[in-house]
Structure 1
Amino acid sequence: MTAHILFSAHASRWDLYEAPLKEALDAAGVDYVLATQMPPEQVDYIVYAPNSDVQDFTPFTQLKAVLNLWAGVEGVVGNRTLRVPLARMVDEEGLTQGMVEWVTGHVLRHHLGMDAHIVNPDHRWDPVAPPLSHERPVTILGMGALGRACARALRGLGFPVTGWSRSEKRVAHVRCLHGDEGLAQALRGAQIVVLLLPATPQTDSILNASSLNLLAPGAVVINPGRGPLLDDDALLQALDDGHVGHATLDVFRVEPLPQDHPFWAHPKVTVTPHIASETRPPSASRVIAENIRRGEAGLGFLHLVDRDAGY
């Protein structure tokens, strides 16, 4: 059987993905037709980005699965017309490795106090050594594939790492907590907190005035996860009060971040333009091709989204 695959994402993505997808599908032994346009009743799989033109899945009467190009699925998981399996992007080779590198880099940056030496217009000579990693507790909120990978990397550098998730998880040498009571324990006294949760109604503003107050004085907030995880006003107040020493933010409630947003000008905020972990076409294409291969072979799809949980 020939698998009819619709690539439905922003037009600029097709130029990046066409060749890698074809190479990956060929390598997986899939007989396929891949295009950006085809009659909806012929489509078996949609390679999808939630900002694509396809928002009504009703005409796709033969659809077997929607394969998301991104890790985040909040833009599609609630679509009532989508009644087939939805797979999120889990790409350890590309997306996960990119997140590990970004998170590790910024944790080390703040742990070592590098900003004071990189930007030092007054030529201050302040020979104060930072603590060693085992003296710097780090908390990661979100222990999915990305959170677990970052936890292992930071633990390997000697940081005491606490991970929190809504449901119970286990990672060797990492203190893992879950549930409402576990959240307070995970945040209490943390000197660096990394946000890697999905965006759901339950995680909206999970870092707010109350939870920020649990952090150690001068703590650092690092958010490469999702913008709605943070209460922006509460964070700004905590920064102004000095309870939070710095925030490095890669994701925001509105993107691109509006030019008049106070994060841009705040001296204790670093803004990066949603670059913490980009989907890499070659490795992401191999993940997609494997799921199509499995679908055509009658096997279960990988990385399926739990519609009730929202991720």
Structure 2
Amino acid sequence: MALIFHSKIKRDDWWREVLGKVLPGMEVRFYPEIGNPDDIEYALCFAMPHGVLSQFKNLKGIFSLGAGVDHFFADPDFPKHLPFARVVDDELTARMSEYVLQHVLNHHRYQADFDLQQKDHVWKERFPPAARNRKVGILGLGALGQGAAERLKYLEFDVAGWSRSPKEIEGVTCYHGADQLDEFLARTEILVCLLPLTEETTGIINKDLLAKLPEGAAVINPGRGPHVVPEDLMTAIDSGHISSATLDVFIQEPLPENDPLWDHPKIRITPHVASVAAPERVAALTAENIKRIENGEDPLNKVDPERGY
């Protein structure tokens, strides 16, 4: 029995040690060192090159290294019939919540304006409203969205969330479905996008959506890069309708050196660091899910291929 591993970040020795502790009887192979493909029964990976997973005729289960799974479904040969799971972990959620809280506070307290003032040696006071009078809206109320909402509620922000299907979260005004999206946007002064990436959500932060936010609203995207249409966002900021933005994820990563997003004075960029799953926790979850599949059970955090998450 063997497991194939692939990650964009090359730390094979580290992962070999971590996985060896929880899967002592499992041979771990690091792509592209496949060996005999018939030995491969499980895959733990992120952004595996297209067509690779379909080569393993004895594959029993596939596990994402993170919460996102859109890169799997971009593979036209992805074996959707197999048990497939993603990472849902309280530490990953906590890290994302920290990121969201940090940048909501930056926008809430006009830090982008103060950074520009410092650059130009300008002293000009501007005072934010109390947190309870600042309306924050979260697109996506999965584990990450709910975690962020809880942190924001703790500081007494006026938090709302939107999801495809109905949700009930204490202290959070919940909207759902296409019919309620405009109402959600109209009350949102700081928009946080934590949606999964699907056909429906690709390009969702575009000129039409941005126009429905109140004048002076801010945008934070630590979700997936293709959620944002960059040209539309920059146009909305340049027009003054959107005040500023924070982006952690991009259509192309690393962000090309000549991309205009780098130099926009009202866009803050971070290099896809909002959250990461700790290897020890991913390894433990992988071991548990292999055990479950071997026992004929569904893996934890199973992905629905039809929904895309």
Do Structure 1 and Structure 2 share a fold, with TM-score over 0.5? yes
Residue 289 of structure 1 is matched in structure 2 by: 287
Residue 218 of structure 2 is matched in structure 1 by: 220
Is 1:62 the counterpart of 2:62? The answer is no
User: Kindly tell me: are residues 85 and 176 of structure 1, through their superposed partners in 2, closer, same or farther at Cα, counting changes over 3 Å?
Assistant: same
Residue 156 of structure 1 is matched in structure 2 by: 154
Q: Over the residues paired in the alignment, what is the CA RMSD in angstroms?
A: 2.0
Residue 105 of structure 1 is matched in structure 2 by: 102
User: Kindly tell me: are residues 236 and 122 of structure 1, through their superposed partners in 2, closer, same or farther at Cα, counting changes over 3 Å?
Assistant: closer
CA contact (8 A) 2:185 2:212 kept: yes
CA contact (8 A) 1:100 1:146 kept: yes
Please give the secondary structure, in 2, of the residue aligned with 1:256: coil
Aligned pair partner of 2:164 in 150, 163, 166 = 166
CA contact (8 A) 1:8 1:53 kept: no
Identity %: 40
The code of the aligned residue for 2:308 comes to G
Give the unaligned 5+ runs of structure 2: none
- CA drift of 1:68 comes to 0.9
The code of the aligned residue for 1:91 comes to D
The separation in 2 between residues aligned to 1:197 and 1:72, in whole angstroms, is 10
Residue 4 of structure 2 is matched in structure 1 by: 6
The code of the aligned residue for 2:41 comes to D
The separation in 2 between residues aligned to 1:168 and 1:113, in whole angstroms, is 33
Please give the secondary structure, in 1, of the residue aligned with 2:199: coil
- CA drift of 1:53 comes to 4.5
Which range is displaced more, 164-173 or 292-301? Answer: 292-301
* Mapping for residues 17-96 of structure 1, pairs under 5 Å: 17-25=15-23, 31-36=25-30, 37-50=34-47, 52-53=48-49, 55-78=51-74, 79-82=76-79, 83-93=81-91, 95-96=92-93
The code of the aligned residue for 1:255 comes to E
TM-score, length of structure 1 as denominator length: 0.90
Which range is displaced more, 134-143 or 207-216? Answer: 207-216
The separation in 1 between residues aligned to 2:226 and 2:9, in whole angstroms, is 27
Task: Provide Cα deviations, 1:157-199, integer angstroms capped at 9, x if missing partner.
Answer: 1011111111222222111111111111111131100011112
- CA drift of 1:126 comes to 3.5
The separation in 1 between residues aligned to 2:49 and 2:209, in whole angstroms, is 38
Please give the secondary structure, in 2, of the residue aligned with 1:309: coil
The code of the aligned residue for 2:28 comes to L
Please give the secondary structure, in 2, of the residue aligned with 1:12: coil
Residue 143 of structure 1 is matched in structure 2 by: 141
Please give the secondary structure, in 1, of the residue aligned with 2:205: coil
User: Kindly tell me: are residues 121 and 61 of structure 1, through their superposed partners in 2, closer, same or farther at Cα, counting changes over 3 Å?
Assistant: closer
The code of the aligned residue for 1:71 comes to A
CA contact (8 A) 2:51 2:77 kept: no
Residue 130 of structure 1 is matched in structure 2 by: 128
CA contact (8 A) 1:90 1:287 kept: no
